[in-house]
Structure 1
Amino acid sequence: MKQLVNKNLITLKCVLFCFLSGIGCIFPFLPLHMLSVGLDKGEARLISAVAPCIALLGPAVLGPLIDKLSVGRGSTGGATNPSGSGRLLRVITAACLILSAIFYTLLLAVPYTERHEARRPEVLFMCDEDSAYVMQEVCKEDMRCNRWSGEKSGVLAVTACEYGCADENMTWVKQPFTTTSTTTTLSPMYLSVANATTSAPEVTEDDEVRHAMPFEVNPPHFCYNGQCLVYMQHQARLRVPLSLIAPELPEDNSTSDSDWCTYRTAGPSKCQVPPNRLAEVSESDDCRPAVRCQVLDPYDEPDGVLADAECRLIIGDPSYTFWTYLIIRILSDIWPTAGLALLGTACVIATRETSLGRGDVGRQLAFGTIGLAIFPPLAGLAAEQMPDTPFLIPFVLHAVFMFIGALILLFDSHMPLSTPEWWWHTATGVLAMPMNTVRRYGAETAAVFAVVALLGTLWSGIDAYLPWTVQELNGTVTEMGLTLTAGALPAVPALWWAEALVDYIGHSNVFIMAFTFYGIRYTGLAYSTDYTWVVVCEILEVFTLSLVWVTAVLYFRHLVPRKYTATGQALPVIAHFCIGRCIGAIIGGMVSLQQPLQAVRMVYRSMGVVALVVAAVYLGLYHLLLAPRCAAPAVSPPHHLLQGLNRTNGTTNGTYSPMRVYHEERSRKGHFRY
């Protein structure tokens, strides 16, 4: 009777349990943590896309490095000391886990920033015979005026200009505008200062009939740097070009200004007020003749001089926060992706799969998935109990699990991680398949790599921003952790029997099934109205991620020669969790910021259609074109393989069915349907 649990693999199961538990404690909360430090969703989307793209350096470098440094170690360790030759893999994997714990914890030290929505205070315009003034309400958020160095040039759109008397407190300027303003029916014009006149322009009777408006004498003139503009009502908007000088700071460096900020023009400016109009507005001898205008769209006017002068309350430095988070996040994502590739390598080597039997890769992953089902909701529950520092516990739990896994790797010298050259033998020492007979299937490897990358894109399109979707549906932090539990629980039994299941179904059918269920998941999420439907869609992740991942691990195990085992296990990680994750984050991030939930549903509908179309194309391409052409007749197994079977009490019916793959199905690496 086959032993249910291999005692030699218990420590490896514990490492996988710690690794996936640590990943589960942090992964669903990263999108929320980015927003909690003050990043906006646009910056968070950029980080989510850039980080996995650069994270591929981890598996891409460490995988080949492990293979290169392992060459020859089998001869030094040999069959007498197989565990000693796995020390390199254990140490580097432990280093990846430790670095993951350190860098993700550093994200807690990213400086906080806060940006409140801009407020647009009122803006007024006034000019007299000495100068012109632009007045803006002071920003109440920090009681400061907007200030800049030197001159700031632009235009100011004004309307409803009228004559009046100004005093030192600008009382008249701040009063509400009357419904009647001093206007004219003439079009705006530029006049030189020498030609600027206070007399009424001459118009004919036909002009008055054509304009159908009363002619007005002496319209307001604004003169700046030797040119004058005339305001007319029918134009409704007069664009005044000018340069402004910001008010100076108070001598005591206090943060409080008056209720209004007054900006003076940099060049000589004045308003010409005719004496006869002055008599109409005031009979006082101390009247200060002036013209005031109402300002139109001061913050939205093209080339506006006050285009960026809204009142903004900013705490911290948003730019510094963004770049600090981006750099640390990039350095953080490198190590778990590299660790996943190396742990996949450890599973393949430790389970000792040979041509005479099937390994237990799926069972190792199943044990680790238990941690992925247990700890994410517990981390979310702990976060809810600490509203002031909600993400402290998830990040600390991640670090603790990673350190525990690293310690197990460093101190368990009996973990069966000998080099590939040694374990590619049968139990009796007979060479099951000479290494020189293993062929490289580059085209097939590239095809499977592309399929896994596409599946990773569909996965990331959901999971990269799923916490935001749950938040939009009023879900709690605990419920966000439960989404991982919903996907991990059914994956445990599926992974336990994964190798037999994949062997029976065939790898292509597993991938076709995954695309089909992605279509169902996306469609369900597109029409989800509450959290319950999100959980139901997450249960289907057993078909779209768990079985897909173990299929990729098993398939690359057979495609890649044993001396490149680490490189072979790095390929699906790069395809799914780096390239696919990057593309999916970009696609999932193409949503409207004004209506995020509706925009996300639109993306989900589109991705659902794409997934179903790919499934249909893949189904037709494989079963109607590739499978019939690649079918190979049964052939007798190699003579040395028959001898090996006989020596190990194996049985054979005299035929040998090659692995079903994209090439001509003549691989002799195993008996499995791939």
Structure 2
Amino acid sequence: MEKLVNKNLITLKCVLFCFLSGVGCIFPFLPVHILSVGLDRGEARLISAVAPCVAILGPAVLGCLIDKLSVGRGSTGGAPGPSGSGKLLRVVTAICLILSALFYTLLLAVPYTERHEARRPQVLFMCDAENTYVMQEICKEDMRCNSWSGVKTGVLAVSSCEYGCADDNMTWIKKPFPTTTTTTTLSPMYYTASNYTPMFNFTYDDDEEEYEAYPPHLCYQGQCLVYMAHSRRMRVPMSLESPIPPEDNTTETDAWCTYRASSPSCLVPAAKLPEFSVMQSECKPAVRCQVLDPYDEPDGVLADAECRLTIGDPSATFTTYLILRMLADIWPTAALALLGAACVIATRETSLGRGDVGRQLAFGTLGLAIFPPLAGLAAESMESPFVVPFALHAVFMLIGALILLFDSHMPLSTPEWWWHTATGVLAMPMNTVRRYGAETAAVFAVVALLGVLCSGIDAYLPWTVMEMNGTLLHVGLTMTAGALPAVPALWWAEALVDYIGHSNVFISAFTFYCLRYTGLAYTTDYTWIIVCEILEVFTMSLVWVTAVLYFRHLVPRKYTTMGQALPVIAHFCIGRCIGAIVSGMVSLSQPLESAREVYRALGVASLAAAAVYLALYHLLLAPRCAARPAPPPQHLLQACTVDGQLNGKGLNANGGSNGTYSPMRVYHEERSRKGHFRY
């Protein structure tokens, strides 16, 4: 009876189950967690873009390190040393899982900050021959005045300027402005203060009396801005010093902050104005103006002086979260590459047949389907909701690390020791790195582009779910919807990919991304989000196993770990970084509607990529790279593997199940040692 499960691979399946369960418990909730500590969406987008970029260090450095140190004495014919037995791979992977648990748990200790929406207090303006006064209501949120060091320069837009008598208590400046209608509206003009004493005639409708008057002159650095009768807007240059707070700003509810400025000053011709001819000793001639849009005026001197209530230190929160997130993302990314290499090595794929990488990933994907909604459901009932997902992540990672450390029988020996053909020929020539460099780069670019499209959805989909009145349970279910159909697909993935061909899988993925983005762009219901996530089996699961299988065949066995690090770097580092940037280009004021516009654009881009790839591959590459219909050696026809074990079932004459056409054959010598796979 055919054995479906290799007992030697049970512990590897358990490690993959723990790893993907831990990933599923935390990654769907990270976008929501960033906002929960008080950071805004702009800061969250920056973190989501920078963290995967830094995460490149994990698979790149450790992939090279493992490949270099794992070369024992196998290449010289001796027995493998400790590094050649797979111990190094197990220990380093376990360390990655432990560090992932540690750094993601530390995110719970990020200091909380809270920034309330800015309130815009009233601003008043008055000036006399000596000083200029700008007054602002004190910020009642924290009973403080907005302050700065030195002198701040800008403009203040004013209107409805009028003469009056100022007093030490600033009573007149606080009085409401009269509603006066005028028949003349003129524009302000600049004149030199030293040689200009104009007189103008103004007509007022309220008393229908004409008289000569000096319009207000607001002078700044030797230039006077003349306010004409009830001009709509006049931009006054201004230099303000730090404010003088009220004497007791802790109990005064209507206190004002006073900003002093040496300029502009007002030219007030008191001797020639009738309103100042009486009781000049008790009257301090001054000009007051109504302030227009003090916080919105371009180059405004008070543009950033709104009242803000801030709890904690937003800068410290952002910096701490960014550093911890960058350090945290390195380790699961590195672990994914190392576990991919472990699957390739442990399944013992040789020219005698195929290993079953897909079945190992299928078992691990069960954890990705089961635990995210459970973590979300538990989080909903907790006062500190994110403790449960982060704790589950740590538990699963630690369990996986313990299995790796204590299971010394996991079949992870040095690649050179298991790369054999039936004739006993050892490892392939190393010049294949140069021979297939262009093809490796092309597949790397395709996987990176698919990673961009994947991140374009996953990076901020939890925000969309929450904006549709969803809960953390609903966020977790989106992960289940994508992972559950992937289990049977991955179980038969190698045969499926071999039959379809890797390029056709990639082309199909671009097409299904178009469908996913189109659905998300027009959906207004959570149910349709789930439907779109079900399509992830075609855009993520099959794509990933195809990338693993293709790089397994393309990269020499000496570089097995680095070969599995390449798709991780392309998809989950470079692609995730660019995708987070592209999908984050939405309006902060209307995030949901703006996100739909981005989804529509990415949907069109996906369809265009599918069409270009289809045309280039089937019209240009496939005819040139078609494999010759030569059968493999006769002694290989009776051998194939099931879950890493040989059995008596034979392959067809071309090493595959889809006739003799093989668009992208891979040769590591003049003849293929792997059979004519469709890669």
TM-score with structure 2 length normalisation? 0.90
* The one of 430, 433, 439 aligned to 2:432: 439
Alignment of structure 1 residues 369-518 onto 2, 5 Å: 369-387=365-383, 389-425=384-420, 430-431=423-424, 434-436=427-429, 439-440=432-433, 441-518=436-513
Closer, same or farther: CA 541–639 of 1 in aligned 2, 3 Å: closer
Whole-angstrom distance in 2 between the partners of 1:664 and 1:435:
12
Q: 1:321 aligns with which of 317, 322, 344?
A: 317
Separation in 2 of the partners of 1:363 and 1:618?
29
Alpha-carbon distance in structure 1 between the residues aligned to 2:193 and 2:166: 24
Question: SS where residue 435 of structure 1 aligns?
Answer: coil
The aligned counterpart of 1:24 is 24
Q: Distance in 1 between matches of 2:220 and 2:623?
A: 84
- Structure 2 unaligned residues grouped into runs of 5+: 641-645
Aligned residue for 2:678? Answer: 673
Amino acid at match of 1:63: G
- Matched with 1:551 is 546
Matched, 1:615 2:617: no
Offset of 1:193 from its aligned partner? 4.9
Count of aligned pairs? 663
Change (3 A) 1:643 1:19: closer
1:127 maps to what in 2? 127
Residues 451 and 471 (structure 1 numbering): CA distance in 2 closer, same or farther, change over 3 Å? Answer: same
Equivalent runs, 1:241-252 vs 2, <5 Å: 241-248=237-244
Change over 3 Å in CA distance of 1:20–1:652 after alignment to 2: closer
Using a 3 Å threshold, how does the CA distance of structure 1 residues 262 and 184 change in structure 2: closer, same or farther?
farther
Unaligned runs of at least 5 residues, structure 1: none
CA distance in 1, matches of 2:338, 2:354: 20
What corresponds to 1:165 in structure 2? 165
Whether the aligned pair in 2 keeps the contact of 1:369 and 1:491 (CA below 8 Å) is: yes
Distance 1:349 1:173, change over 3 A: same
Partner of 1:109: 109
- Counterpart-to-counterpart distance in 2, 1:414 and 1:347: 14
Shift of 1:541: 0.6
CA displacement 1:170-208 (0-9 Å, x = unmatched) = 2222121112289976653445555454x73589xxx99
* % identical aligned pairs: 74
2:643 maps to none
CA offset digits 1:552-600 (Å, max 9, x no partner): 1111111111111101111111111111111111111111112111111
Alignment partners' CA distance in 2, 1:511 and 1:132? 69
Corresponding residue for 1:137?
Answer: 137
Match of 2:37 in 1: 37
Indicate the residue corresponding to 1:8 in structure 2.
8
Tell me the distance in 2 between the aligned counterparts of 1:644 and 1:375: 39
Amino acid at match of 2:404: L
Structure 1 residue matching 2:273: 3-state secondary structure: helix
Separation in 2, partners of 1:492, 1:93: 24
Task: Give the Å deviation of 1:156.
Answer: 1.8
1:311 counterpart residue number: 307
**How far did 1:628 drift?**
2.8
Amino acid at match of 1:247: P
**1:656 shift after superposition:** 6.9
- SS of the residue corresponding to residue 2 of structure 1 reads coil
| Equivalent residues of 1:430, 1:644 under 8 A apart | no
Paired position in structure 2 for 1:585: 580
CA contact (8 A) 2:95 2:401 kept: yes
1:77–1:379 Cα change, 3 Å: farther
Distance 2:648 2:599 in 1: 54
Q: 1:222 to 1:77 in 2, by over 3 A?
A: same
Contact conserved, 1:21 with 1:371, CA < 8 A, in 2? Answer: yes
Describe the shift of the 1:448–1:187 C-alpha distance in structure 2 as closer, same or farther (beyond 3 A). closer
CA distance in 2, matches of 1:543, 1:137: 59
2:160·2:230 contact (CA, 8 Å) conserved in 1?
no
Q: How does 1:569-580 map to 2 (within 5 A)?
A: 569-580=564-575
Aligned mates of 1:195, 1:184 — CA distance in 2: 26
1:80 Cα deviation from its structure 2 partner? 8.6
How much does 1:668 deviate? 3.1
| TM-superposition CA deviations, 1:532-555 (whole Å, max 9, x none) | 000000011111111111111111
- Pair 1:623–1:31, CA change in 2 (3 A): same
Q: Structure 1 467/668 Cα, relative in aligned 2: closer, same or farther at 3 Å?
A: same
CA distance in 2, matches of 1:324, 1:607: 32
Contact 2:447 2:547 in 1 (8 A): yes
- 1:150 is matched with 150
Q: What is the alpha-carbon distance in structure 2 between the residues aligned to residue 653 and residue 519 of structure 1?
A: 36
Tell me if structure 2 keeps the 8 A contact 1:659–1:669. no
> Does structure 2 conserve the Cα–Cα contact (< 8 Å) formed by 1:432 and 1:640?
no
3-state secondary structure, aligned to 1:436: coil
Over 3 Å counting, the alpha-carbon distance change for 1:524 and 1:642 in structure 2 is closer
Distance 1:636 1:36, change over 3 A: closer
Give the match for residue 229 of structure 2: 233
Further displaced range: 395-404 or 306-315: 306-315
CA distance, structure 1, for counterparts of residue 249 and residue 584 of structure 2: 44
* 1:134 alignment partner AA: V
2: CA distance between counterparts of 1:355 and 1:272? 99
Q: Which amino acid aligns with 1:583?
A: I
Match of 2:360 among 353, 361, 364: 364
Is the deviation greater in 115-124 or in 274-283? 274-283
1:57-76 superposed matches below 5 A: 57-74=57-74
Which of the numbers 333, 340, 343 marks the counterpart of 2:339?
343
- Matches of 1:525 and 1:536, distance apart in 2: 10
User: 1:202 and 1:350, CA in 2 relative to 1: closer, same or farther beyond 3 A?
Assistant: closer
Alpha-carbon distance change, 282 to 10 in structure 1, aligned in 2, over 3 angstroms: farther
Aligned match for 2:298, one of 295, 302, 311: 302
Moved more, 72-81 or 269-278: 72-81
Structure 2 residue identity aligned to 1:385: S
CA RMSD of aligned residues (A): 3.2
Read off the aligned partner of 1:22 and give its amino acid letter: G
> Does the 8 A contact of 1:635 with 1:656 survive in 2?
no
1:263 and 1:373, CA in 2 relative to 1: closer, same or farther beyond 3 A? same
For the Cα contact (< 8 Å) 2:245–2:256, is it kept in 1?
Answer: no
Q: Secondary structure at the match of 1:30?
A: helix
Q: Which amino acid aligns with 1:16?
A: L
Of residues 590, 594, 605, the one that matches 2:600 is: 605
Counterpart of 2:429 in 1: which secondary structure?
helix
Q: Deviations over 1:246-290 (max 9, x none)?
A: 234578896968621111113583441434535379769633332
Q: Classify 1:262/1:39 alpha carbon distance in 2 versus 1 (closer, same or farther; 3 Å).
A: same
Q: Does 1:221 align with 2:232?
A: no
Give the letter aligned to residue 399 of structure 1. Answer: A
**Structure 1-normalised TM-score?**
0.90
Q: Which amino acid aligns with 2:394?
A: A
Please name the residue that 1:260 is paired with.
256
Structure 1 residue 11: Cα displacement: 0.7
Larger mean CA deviation between 579-588 and 610-619 belongs to 610-619
